Amino acid sequence: MHGVRRGQVFSDKQRKEAIEKCRRFKELTEKLLAKRACAALDSECLGLTTDVLSENAEYYTAWNIRREIIEVHHQAVVECPKESSAAVAADSKEKKEDQEGESKKEEKGEKSAATVESELESRKKKLHKLLEGELSFTAKLIRVYPKSYWLWFHRQWVTDKLDIWLQSCNWKYELELCTMFLKADNRYC
């Protein structure tokens, strides 16, 4: 808030706790940046960003990495229909061939159109769950860091992606949440 200082360290115990917190934050960020350098944008990397941002929601690099991880999941969904159309074309070709051709297809391990569609739905659900988890995570952090622009920007980015990619953003809830956060801030009372 304006004119209100953030906490100050007074005692030796508080100073030691602050030093330990800084050490832990540095260790987490080093692990996170090493994973990013290796292009290992997986659930472990997402967990590291969660830990880093829980310590400091204004570490913008961690928000960028979270967005990269979400983009990777989205790319998996986007690429799945390409596999689906190839599988459908292969299925129509196989229908023209005899039983021997179908057994060759099974031996090669090619996916049927139904399998690919099932996989696409599974990937969409996983992406939706990831984005909903992001909204939940950001709501939790907003309670602690209500003035973090990076946090609010990430939340807006997630709601936009939910709306564009999956057409499932609950805008009414988002407005209610913003109203609740504004009421909680004594500058707006």
In DSSP notation, 57-117 reads TT-HHHHHHHHHHHHHHHHHHHHHHHHHHHHHHHHHHHHHS-HHHHHHHHHHTPPPHHHHH
Most confident listed range (58-67, 121-130, 161-170): 58-67
Residue 91, pLDDT > 80, answer: no
Which amino acid is it at 59? Y
Give the per-residue pLDDT at 100.
52
Exposure of 62 in the CB half-sphere (CA atoms within 13 A): 25
Q: Which residue has the higher pLDDT, 156 or 80?
A: 156
Residue 87, pLDDT > 50, answer: no
Structure tokens at 142: 């907003």
pLDDT tens digits, one per residue of 117-136: 888 888 888 889 999 999 99
Residue 88, pLDDT > 50, answer: no
* Dihedral sign for Cα atoms in the order 1, 141, 65, 52: positive
pLDDT tens digits, one per residue of 140-154: 999 888 888 999 999
pTM for the predicted model, two decimal places? 0.73
pLDDT tens digits, one per residue of 33-61: 999 999 888 889 999 999 999 999 999 99
